[in-house]
Amino acid sequence: MVEECKPVLNTGLRGLIIASSKISDVRGSEGKLIYRGYLIQDLADKVCFEETAYLLLYEKLPDTDELVAFKEKLKTERHIPQEVIDALKTRPHGALPMDILQAGIGLLAHHDSDVRDQSRDAALRMAIRLIARMPTLLAAWGRIRQGEDVVSPSSDLDHAANFLYMLHGKVPDHEVARFLDTCLVLHAEHSFNASTFAAREVASTKAHMYAAIAAGVGSLSGDLHGGANVRVMEMLKTIGSIENVESFVKKTISEGKKIMGLGHAVYQTDDPRTFILAPMSKRMGERVGETKWYDLSKTLEKVAKAAFKKEKGLDLPVNVDFYSASLYYSIGIPVDFFSPVFAISRVAGWTTHVLEEQFADAAAKPALYRPESKYVGEYCGPDQCEFVTIDKR
Ligand SMILES: CC(C)(COP(=O)(O)OP(=O)(O)OC[C@H]1O[C@@H](n2cnc3c(N)ncnc32)[C@H](O)[C@@H]1OP(=O)(O)O)[C@@H](O)C(=O)NCCC(=O)NCCS
């Protein structure tokens, strides 16, 4: 007997509230992003990434002593086991960096005895280790695939500066480190987006922190999510110069394709992070003597928005990936590292969500995620197919 079907929603769960959360709020119609009650504009250039991670994990902004202690804690947790470095050295240099990051998280789990401990304290310790170690893992891969020596973390440098130091092998200029730091603040959290949902869904089974965060990385890697910043830079390079923008947009519309970095599942206005990223992209371009990518982005934004409105009646907002592409490029981050850099920030949000998923008060604690699907496959008859042994098929 076929069970009575529940409503079918092929809408990617859009507009459905599936859990309550105290971590962040995305108000799509107002263009607001709020971390633990604070507007992103108020945090962006006033707090560092470490402060943001503290705010997310501990539900309050740290005072000076708390921030100093938290920074120290992260510094002591930055080193990754030599066995993990050695394992990375066996990987093909052409492997996708998001795959390396995801696999590396699995490798780090092998060296953490807390994976067997289901307490909140253990989950928090793993969260802090992942926040501290993912940049080390990524930078190490950046060096290894170029045939260069791995650079050990520096305890003299803060989180963002230390990542650039480990990646490039030299201490970055203060302003450059500050720009990356602000990017990490902006990317740290964004409510129930696809990757956060993936991490929470895995956490809802009581899987450990590393399993949940590896799932988040896998989800983030897709072009429609964190992979978009890579595609934005590739698109800018394909366009090449401002003279080609009009024809590129025309062709994109006629072929029914998308402009990467535009559109959003929740924001109906421009993403508030854009207003912080765009000026940084311009300033970084000026610093390196190449404003071309910022200028191209600015023109593309204007032309594409107008054309999609005129031709298709669409109001396409700019999303976080649009200007972060040119900004990361000017900072000297390799293009295929753009999404992994997003991930080394978002891990602060993911880990906080895992803690909330697994340890929220009983009343607010979500259940194991288990949606249903409507079976539209074969029955071959009223109830089921008659089984035929292999020799008779
Ligand atoms: C992010 C994204 C998946 C959100 O999607 P969404 O709100 O579900 O919107 P849909 O994909 O259903 O698109 C709705 C309409 O807008 C169009 N659209 C959405 N984003 C577009 C874009 N970047 N360029 C051109 N058209 C776009 C769709 O083609 C669709 O048009 P149609 O109704 O004529 O088919 C989508 O905007 C997108 O793919 N953007 C490009 C990738 C990107 O930048 N991702 C990073 C997101 S932070």
Residue-wise pLDDT tens digits, 58-101 = 999 999 999 999 999 999 999 999 999 999 999 999 999 999 99
Residue 344 CA to ligand 1 center (angstroms) comes to 25
CB 181 within 8 A of CB 49: yes
Centre of ligand 1 to C-alpha 316, Å, is: 8
Residue 180 CA to residue 186 CA, distance in Å, equals 10
Q: In DSSP terms, which residues pair with 35 in a beta bridge? A: 24, 38
Q: Quick check: is 321 catalytic?
A: yes
pTM for this entry? 0.95
pLDDT one-digit tens code per residue, 347-374 = 999 999 999 999 998 777 778 999 888 8
Cα-to-centroid distance, 109 and ligand 1 (Å): 36
Catalytic residue among 190, 208, 225, 353: 225
Average pLDDT on 1-8 reads 53
Which phi and psi (to 5°) does residue 145 adopt? Answer: -70, -15
**What is the position in ligand 1's atom list of the atom closest to the CA of 193?**
48
Instruction: Give strand ranges (E) for 58-216.
Output: none
pLDDT by residue (tens digit) across 258-298?
999 999 999 999 999 999 999 999 999 999 999 999 999 99
> What is the atom index within ligand 1 of the atom nearest the CA of 12?
8
Q: Is 42 helix (H, G, I), strand (E, B) or coil?
A: helix
**Protein residue whose Cα sits closest to atom 37 of ligand 1:** 263
% residues pLDDT > 90 (the chain): 89
Secondary structure of 248-313 in HEC code, one letter for each residue: HHHHHHHCCCCCCCECCCCCCCCCCCHHHHHHHHHHHHHHCCCCHHHHHHHHHHHHHHHHHHHHHC
Residue 4: per-residue pLDDT: 55
Domains and CATH numbers, the chain: 38-221+338-362 (1.10.580.10), 228-329 (1.10.230.10)
> CA-CA distance, 339 to 331, in Å (whole number)?
14
224 lines ligand 1 (CB under 6 A): yes
Sign of CA dihedral 371, 374, 379, 382: positive
Nearest residue to 359 via CA among 108, 66, 60, 126: 126
